Amino acid sequence: MNIVLFGPPGAGKGTQSALLVEHLKMVQISTGDLFRAAIKNQTDLGKKAKEFMDKGQLVPDAIVIDMVAEALDKNSGSSFILDGFPRTVVQARALLEMLDRKSLKVGKAVFLEVPSDELLARLTSRRVCKDCGATFNLIGMPSKKAGICDNCGGQLIQRDDDKEEVIKTRLKTYEEST
């Protein structure tokens, strides 16, 4: 069964996806992760996406939709979890068309609801591993050794878009567009 996870930034989509991947052997398609990988690899896609991400804005629909279409094409028939897509009505319609073309269906769309003051606290205390991307939280889910990833020993850093000013724009963008 294919799943779509909805919810504001900081609701825990990535955390829940990681659990589903581990326990149900599903494939996670996270648009945020795909963009961060493209930025790390300094591709044209990454350069374009970074302009929007750094400001807490959505990357234009056409760019995201092409990227997801490619990710779905690469997925070799495993059940998938969409994490962070769709985020606009245009994206949702495009998803339906893509799935129709492939005779695929979404079995469940799960909405993770979290109060907004809790989101701000979670996002400002989130830390991610520079190397493997694992996510921790200084308050709710700290690493065993401060600043060090439990999985790979990499350095934990704060995402550029987890700074308070950018978070406020991201939450507003979510309210307005998603």
Query: Would you tell me which residues interact with ligand AMP (CB under 6 A)?
Result: 9, 31-32, 35, 52-53, 56-59, 64, 84-85, 87, 91, 161, 170
Which of 60, 147 has the CB closer to ligand AMP? Answer: 60
Residue 13: active-site member: yes
d(CA 155, CA 62): 34
Residue 127: active-site member: no
Which of 66, 144 has the CB closer to ligand AMP? Answer: 66
| HEC secondary structure over 98-127 | HHHHCCCCCCEEEECCCCHHHHHHHHHCEE
Q: Which of 48, 55, 159, 163 is catalytic?
A: 159
Q: Report the DSSP pairing between strands 3-6 and 108-111.
A: parallel
Q: Which of 36, 50, 122, 126 is catalytic?
A: 126
Cβ at position 58, least distance to ligand AMP in Å: 4
Tokens linked to 80: 């998938």
Q: Which residue type is seen at 87?
A: R
Cβ at position 26, least distance to ligand AMP in Å: 17
Cβ at position 174, least distance to ligand AMP in Å: 9
Tokens linked to 28: 């996670």
Which of 87, 122 has the CB closer to ligand AMP? Answer: 87
**For the residues of 65-99, what is the DSSP string, one character each?**
HHHHHHHHHHS-S--EEEES---SHHHHHHHHHHH
Residue 122: active-site member: no
Residue closest to 119 by CA, chosen among 162, 157, 176:
162
Cβ at position 76, least distance to ligand AMP in Å: 23
Residue 159: active-site member: yes
Residue 170: active-site member: yes
Catalytic site residues? 13, 87, 126, 159, 170
